[in-house]
């Protein structure tokens, strides 16, 4: 028996179809969003492109067959994500954010909750979900056992209801398409202000039309120019008590599971951006002589730099594939490789784009050159979705400190 990296015919078809979709549809995003100054308008301008992704089945692909979806694996989704993000990061990020908002339900909700909330996204894929995790004070210590630290959004039990109060920001998709809120939020909160995360952290499902959910504005960002990053306030938001996923204290593992899924897929997104940068640099090197006698690819230092970039892309791609496969075969229990893929690929993307810019020269540092925009997009990867320093490396450190840590489990699988 051999370890194979050969894609199956089905996997090849997924990549081919995603590449064709990206080239036919997503190439139009950059020009469209450039027409608008505000982050809200740029996001709203992506709606027709998002609709095409819905039509192509990307939202349904994230939902299991038993609940009306098509049940694409994480690895399959990664194959598509690389192709999509190599053309545009914004619209695929909105799809990924809906997936993140649904992950607590997909991985941890009971059957009744799944049947109540998942069919909405099968019936109308334009509906947006959002994971309301990041506090305005920061998201790095959401799992803190200290009741004076960590998550400040509090859910208080009153009879048959939870009453939620708190403030969040960078809640991707949180404004919805109309500025009034996403269709559904999964909200990270504490059920007791006197208890730390191990006893009180929880995730509660909140329909976006619930009174008290307020969109307070949208944060403008340097990259991901049409990705929606609003501030959301929850003011005396009342939902049924049975909307809690699991029980108080389960929020740590639920959040970890959700971010494990996106961590692996951000690896694929980072590879997509790196690939776009490499293609840009390679084309430039083949055509431009920089006032010299031959195209610069004929020079050894240029060739070596291109070789280094390509090696990094290949390494990142296969780590991503391994992390996604491990996530799938462990039934979403994988945590180490998914965090490693997020950290390694995201930071490598910044270096790869920078090296491509060095190869091209100062022209790449203008708004007329695609590499400048790719750098703006790449810089986000290490910082968002569980920042590499505050969250991802800290979690890897915690794993390695644990007495039962097996350093070979990532290679051989859990024993």
What angle, 0 to 180 degrees and rounded to 10, lies between the N-to-C axes of helices 90-108 and 47-55? 50
Q: Are residues 167 and 300 in the same domain?
A: no
Q: Are residues 387 and 268 in the same domain?
A: yes
Give the catalytic positions in this structure.
Answer: 385
- Residue 412 is predicted with a pLDDT of 76
- Residue 1 is predicted with a pLDDT of 41
Answer whether residue 233 is part of any domain: yes
Q: Report, in this order, helix, strand and coil percent for the chain, each rounded to 5.
A: 55, 15, 35
Answer whether residue 1 is part of any domain: no
H-helix or E-strand spanning residue 127: none
Answer whether residue 318 is part of any domain: yes
pTM over 0.85: yes
Answer whether residue 93 is part of any domain: yes
- Residue 46 is predicted with a pLDDT of 98
- Residue 414 is predicted with a pLDDT of 59
Q: What is the pLDDT along the chain (415 residues), one digit of tens a residue?
A: 456 778 899 999 999 999 999 999 999 999 999 999 999 999 999 999 999 999 999 999 999 999 999 999 999 999 999 999 999 999 999 999 999 999 999 999 999 999 999 999 999 999 999 999 999 988 888 899 999 999 999 999 999 999 999 999 999 999 999 999 999 999 999 999 999 999 999 999 999 999 999 999 999 999 999 999 999 999 999 999 999 999 999 999 999 999 999 999 999 999 999 999 999 999 999 999 888 999 999 999 999 999 999 999 999 999 999 999 999 999 999 999 999 999 999 999 999 999 999 999 999 999 889 999 999 999 999 999 999 998 999 999 999 999 999 999 888 765 5
Strand partners, 305: none
Q: Measure the CA–CA gap between 203 and 250, rounded to whole angstroms.
A: 8
- Residue 277 is predicted with a pLDDT of 98
What is 327-360 written as a DSSP string? HHHTTS---HHHHHHHHHHHHHHHHHHHHHHHHH
Q: Are residues 85 and 112 in the same domain?
A: yes
What's the total number of domains in the chain? 3
Q: Nearest 5 degrees, angle CA 408-CA 409-CA 415?
A: 120
Q: Are residues 117 and 208 in the same domain?
A: no
Instruction: List strand residue ranges (DSSP E) for 170-254, in order.
Output: 184-190, 201-207, 213-218, 230-240, 244-245
Contact 59, 120 (CB under 8 A): no
Neighbours of 96 (CB within 10 A): 27
Q: Are residues 263 and 244 in the same domain?
A: no
Answer whether residue 175 is part of any domain: yes
Q: Are residues 388 and 267 in the same domain?
A: yes
Q: Which of 220, 248, 276 lies at the terminal end of a domain, its last residue?
A: 248
Q: Which of 202, 218, 248 lies at the terminal end of a domain, its last residue?
A: 248
Assign 232 to helix, strand or coil: strand
Residue 276: CATH number of its domain = 1.20.140.10
Answer whether residue 3 is part of any domain: no
Strand partners, 158: 161
Q: Are residues 262 and 388 in the same domain?
A: yes
Q: Measure the CA–CA gap between 94 and 81, rounded to whole angstroms.
A: 12
Answer whether residue 170 is part of any domain: yes
Query: 384: domain range?
Result: 252-412
Q: Which of 248, 271, 293 lies at the terminal end of a domain, its last residue?
A: 248
Residue 90: CATH number of its domain = 1.10.540.10
Q: Are residues 208 and 272 in the same domain?
A: no
Q: Are residues 235 and 101 in the same domain?
A: no
Contact 153, 168 (CB under 8 A): yes
Residue 235: CATH number of its domain = 2.40.110.10
Answer whether residue 2 is part of any domain: no
DSSP 368: T
**b/e 182-220 (16+ beta carbons within 10 angstroms → b):** bbbbbbbbbbbeeebbeebbbbbbbbbebeebebeebee
Q: Are residues 199 and 282 in the same domain?
A: no
């Amino acid at each position: 028996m051999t370890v194979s990296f050969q894609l199956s015919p089905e996997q090849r078809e997924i990549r081919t179809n995603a590449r064709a979709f990206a080239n036919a549809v997503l190439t139009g995003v950059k020009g469209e969003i450039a027409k608008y100054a505000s982050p809200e308008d740029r996001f709203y301008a992506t709606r027709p492109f998002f609709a095409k992704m819905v039509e192509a089945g990307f939202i349904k692909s994230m939902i299991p067959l038993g609940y009306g979806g098509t049940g694409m694996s994480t690895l399959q989704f990664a194959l598509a994500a690389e192709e999509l993000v190599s053309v545009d990061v914004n619209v695929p990020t909105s799809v990924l954010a809906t997936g993140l908002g649904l992950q607590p339900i997909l991985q941890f909700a009971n059957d009744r909750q799944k049947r109540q909330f998942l069919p909405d996204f099968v019936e109308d894929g334009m509906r947006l979900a959002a994971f309301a995790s990041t506090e305005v004070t920061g998201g790095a210590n959401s799992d803190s056992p200290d009741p004076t630290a960590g998550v400040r959004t509090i859910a208080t039990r009153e009879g048959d209801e939870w009453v939620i109060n708190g403030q969040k920001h960078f809640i991707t998709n949180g404004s919805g398409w109309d500025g009034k809120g996403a269709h559904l939020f999964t909200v990270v909160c504490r059920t007791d202000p006197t208890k730390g995360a191990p006893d009180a952290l929880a995730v509660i499902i909140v329909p976006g039309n619930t009174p008290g959910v307020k969109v307070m504005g949208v944060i403008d960002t340097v990259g991901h120019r049409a990705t929606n990053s609003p501030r959301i306030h929850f003011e005396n938001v009342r939902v049924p008590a049975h909307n809690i996923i699991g029980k108080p204290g389960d929020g740590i593992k639920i959040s970890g599971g959700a971010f494990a899924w996106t961590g692996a897929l951000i690896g694929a997104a980072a590879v997509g951006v790196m690939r776009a940068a490499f293609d840009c640099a390679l084309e430039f090197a083949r055509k431009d002589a920089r006032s010299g006698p031959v195209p610069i690819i004929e020079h050894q230092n240029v060739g070596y730099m291109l070789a280094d970039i390509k090696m990094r892309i290949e390494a990142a791609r296969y780590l991503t594939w391994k992390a996604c496969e491990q996530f799938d075969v462990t039934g979403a229990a994988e945590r180490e490789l998914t965090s490693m893929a997020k950290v390694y690929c995201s930071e490598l993307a910044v270096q790869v784009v920078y090296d491509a810019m060095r190869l091209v020269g100062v022209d790449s540092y203008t708004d007329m050159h695609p590499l400048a925009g790719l750098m703006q997009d790449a810089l986000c990867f290490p910082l968002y979705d569980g920042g590499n320093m505050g969250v991802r490396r800290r979690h890897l450190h915690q794993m390695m400190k644990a007495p039962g840590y097996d350093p070979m489990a990532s290679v051989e699988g859990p024993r």
